[in-house]
Structure formats: C-alpha cells, structure tokens
Structure 1
C-alpha cells in the first residue's frame, strides 16, 4: 500500500462494507444486543465464504492470497460495523484449525491481558477451538462490560495455549477494528451535531462541538495511518505504536461522541455506548497499552546503545 490504497484494495473495502451493511446493519446489531447472541453461525459461514478468514492464506491452500494491508482494510470495516465475535482469533487460526478458514468453526484465543487478567477468554462458550490449545477448557462466566463480548474465566489456562507467535498480527488486526470504530463514532457525532438544535441552530455550529469532532477525526486518521504503515512494514514497534494510537482513538472518540450526544448518548437505544464498551475490551486484547509501551521503550533503548 503506497500511501493510498490501490484500486483493488478500495474495491475490497467497498465489497466488505456492502456485505456487512446488508447482513449486519443496525437492526441486526440491536437484535444481537437484545438476544445476547454474539456469534451468528450463519453470518460466520458467510464471512468464511467471502474469504474474510482465509484472506491471508495462500491460494495453494485454498485462501485468497492477500496480505496484512488488505486484512487491515477488511478488519477496519468490521470494526466500523461493530461486528462481534472472535474475528481476529478465527482469522489467525485459518490454516491451523480445521474449519476456521471456511467459517464453519469459531476459534477464540487467550488474548486478554492487563487489567482483565490472562485467565479471561472471550467467546469461550461459543467457540469450537482455542488458538494454540488442545480442546476447549471449561470456564466460569464473568460479567462483561460489552454485551456482545461474553467472558469466561479459566482457572488454569493450558500451557499449550501459547499465542506469542500470533501476538503482533493479532494486535495489528485489533487496532484495525479500533480504527473502524473510531471512524464510525466520528460519523455518528457529526451527523447528530448537524441534526440536534439548540438556541435555533444545530449544535454543530458551536465552537466547542466543532473542536470535539475535529479532535476525534484527527485521532482516528492518525491511528489509521499508523495501522496502514504497520501493516506494510510488519515491524513489531510500529505495530505496538499503531495499537496504542488506535486504542486511544477508539476509546476517547467514543467518549467524545457521547459528549456530543449529551444525555441521549447514554441511553440504551443509542449505539454510542456499544462502541465505547467494545473499545474498552479491545484495548486489553493481544497487546495492552502497558505492553506496547514496554516494547517501544525497549526498542528506543536498543537504538540508543
């Protein structure tokens, strides 16, 4: 990706957006929230048929044969749509776990760290396999801040569940999800600011609201640039920086979007709180802020020696 997506990459992004808009629009999102069903097996298989999970598998192995830059674009769209489920783990498991590439298997991973604890697993109850582990361990349900990211605590995570070789790619794809969510909250804030009126004019005419929306856009675009760059280079330090920026863009962007919406943003009917809750969870997946900062600090020290 040379500074701008190619025509093929733009077509890929448009195709994924069209697929998700038709198959997982707002009504489907709210239905998932109301029913508590995070993984739609039918949709999962459709994603598999569309090449979502096999995107980076070589064509000789039945995959699409693309790379991390294309995967980042696809996951950005999934984040924009708030598509739930262990998307990153299943994508990483393509070619390793039978059925993952085709979407006939749901694969999760021991990817939660930091404040949420390494013994927590997302979507364990819906999973057919755990990346890097033999079998699906038993776990106790834990209340999750995100209604579409169910959590289970596993008392003794199996030693075989080593995801270190997947951590960099997992962090990058999670950052892409965060970028998509951040860009979507910019759209939600700008639209509401143009519709909601106070004192006889849209609230978007007020300087404070303009500043909030502008700051949201800057954070999201900077994070998107960092994710795209890291997808091209694959450099662990750049991936860590991209995850830091994307987490901040998603979390702070959702907070600012709530601020623009005022009291309306805190209602269950609004979608803004769903973006914030998902962003909180993703910030703890694959590489936390603390882990990313440690990696970047170590690289700086090495370069200074």
Structure 2
C-alpha cells in the first residue's frame, strides 16, 4: 500500500509550520531557554485558536473534527520546531478539561513517577502529591519526580504515537541541520560534506528519518497498539541517534549555546522516557509476537 498525504493534509502541515515559524521562531525559543519553566500563554492561546489542541475533537463539540493522522502531522511540526510545553497532555484533555481546547488552560499529566511542566500547569491529570523538582537535562522541559511512585502505568496509545510524531519532527530537523552544515562548512578548501565519513553520517540520518516516518504515518492510519509501539521505537532511535550524529557533523560547535543541535538532543532524551519509553514498547511487541 502506498501512503500519500492528501492536499488537505499537506495544507495542514504547511499551515502549522508557518504558524510555528511566526510564533515560535529561534528568538522566541532562545528567550524560553533563558526563562525556563514558563509557558508563553500568548503562544498557547494562538495554538488553541488555530485548532492545534482541538484537532481530533468533533465539530459538534467545537473542535476541528479531524483524525489521528492529521494530529500526527501537527505534532511532527511541533517536534521540528522544538515547541515547548505539555502539548500531548493538553491535546488529550481537549474534550474533558474546560479551556484546554482553546489554549486557555495548560494541562500536565502524571507519567509514572514523572510530571512535565507541573508548576506551569493549570490542571494536573493524575496524582502528583509530594512531587519534588528534578533537574532536567532539557532546559525547555521542567520535570518533577513523585517519590515512592510505582512502576510505569499503562500509557495511552495516542500519547505514545504523538510523542513518536514529535520525535520524528526532531529527527527530520537534525537531518536538515546536518546537511546544511555539511554543505557550508569547509575544511582543507572543501565543504565537509565532500568527505566520505560525513556523507555516511548524513545518509544514515536520512534512512532513519524515512524509516521512522513510514512507521509513524502507518500507525496513525491503523491505530494498532503494536504498530504504535514499533513506530515509537523507530522514532526514538531516529531522534536520539540522529541528533548525536548531527552533533558529530557539527563538531565542537554543536555543543555550544549558539547551536540548536544540542537542544534537539536533550529534548529527544526527555521524550524517550515518556510512557515507559522504549522498554514498554519492546514489551508490548514481545507480547504480541508471543501470541
């Protein structure tokens, strides 16, 4: 079967990308790094007005009335732009928490023993009693830990898939950044992209991105838990390994605050822990194969 985006889906992806470029460009992102833990409420309302959180909400309930594939496209763009905030939790709460769909209410959710954006949230879904701040590797994702919390709870498959879509967006962006740098950075009088070792890194980046993209898009169509688990594993690998390879292409410059690559890597690390991370997806796939 050949999966191709419809004209409407292409327009949706383009519209979300243009919105994020206007509202969450590099300067806004850098300002967020300098003010960690704060939600840009104007940006959150702009997302609500654009229907980002209400994409899957029925039109009769004031939503956009689209499906999971369209939500995946929107979250892929959010991942590509490094959009900060509890996006998945607020999106999932759009039909049950007043103000979430319109971007007036910021919703956080307990994920096992961790909570993202607890202090900035208006509503917290789950028991976050006793939560204590946890130093996050990602300056754009504040974390709290719940002492004594049990094992990882069963994750909502939609939350897992939307996280995979965000990881796909990061993987796509770091692939772009690596290729751009390889074309413009020169050593010994030649672009570094002319050297075989750099070519191989960029080729591997692209292969992982497109493999993850096929899996994520297919899972958005089937909504099968095993397909979603496979998509999550491939997207996590594409994002984390892709960002590390992109750092390798950039060299020492990639670790500096002037470059965005390390922000993508840190966000990919944090996302990879959501919903039990790769371990839970591997267990689900193993259970399916054992049947």
Give the Cα separation in 2 of the matches to 1:163 and 1:17: 33
Deviates more, 1:78-87 or 1:28-37: 28-37
Written as runs of structure 1 = structure 2, the 5 A alignment for 1:143-292 is 143-155=135-147, 164=154, 167-292=156-281
Paired position in structure 2 for 1:98: 98
1:27 corresponds in structure 2 to: 27
- Change in Cα spacing, 1:38 to 1:188, as seen in structure 2 (3 Å) is farther
- Describe the SS at the equivalent of 2:57: coil
1:131 is displaced (CA, Å) by 2.4
Q: Residue 171 of structure 1 contacts residue 287 of structure 1 at CA under 8 Å; is this kept in 2? A: no
Q: Distance in 1 between matches of 2:37 and 2:10?
A: 31
Structure 2: how far apart are the matches of 1:251 and 1:287?
16
1: CA distance between counterparts of 2:208 and 2:119?
35
Q: What is the DSSP-based 3-state SS (H/G/I as helix, E as strand, rest coil) of the residue aligned with 1:124?
A: coil
Structure 2: stretches of 5+ with no match in the other structure:
none
1:38–1:84: 8 Å Cα contact kept in structure 2? Answer: no
| Aligned residues: CA RMSD | 1.7
Cα distance in 1 for partners of 2:184, 2:83 equals 26
Q: Distance in 2 between matches of 1:37 and 1:132?
A: 20
Query: Runs of 5+ in structure 1 lacking a partner?
Result: 112-117
Alignment match, 1:77: 77
Task: Give distance in 2, aligned partners of 1:229 and 1:19.
Answer: 26
2-side partners of 1:172 and 1:203: how far apart? 36
1:127 equivalent in alignment to 2:121: yes
Q: Return 263-272 or 236-245, whichever deviates more.
A: 263-272
* Deviation larger for 6-15 or 122-131: 122-131
Aligned length: 290
Conservation of the 8 A alpha-carbon contact between 1:131 and 1:163: no
CA distance in 2, matches of 1:221, 1:39: 32
| In structure 2, distance between residues paired with 1:287 and 1:49 | 32
Equivalent residues of 1:110, 1:163 under 8 A apart:
no
1:167 Cα deviation (Å)?
A: 1.3
1:216 and 1:15, CA in 2 relative to 1: closer, same or farther beyond 3 A? same
Return structure 1 stretches of 4+ with deviation > 4 angstroms. none
CA drift at 1:137: 3.9
TM-score, with normalisation over the residues of structure 1? 0.92
* Structure-1 separation of matches of 2:251 and 2:182: 10
* Alpha-carbon distance between aligned partners in 2 of 1:260 and 1:38, rounded to the nearest angstrom: 32
Distance 1:95 1:17 in 2: 24
- TM-score by structure 2 length? 0.96
- C-alpha deviation, 1:286, in angstroms: 2.0
Aligned to 1:114: none
- Counterparts of 2:129 and 2:103, CA distance in 1: 21
Matching of residue 46 in structure 1 with residue 46 in structure 2: yes
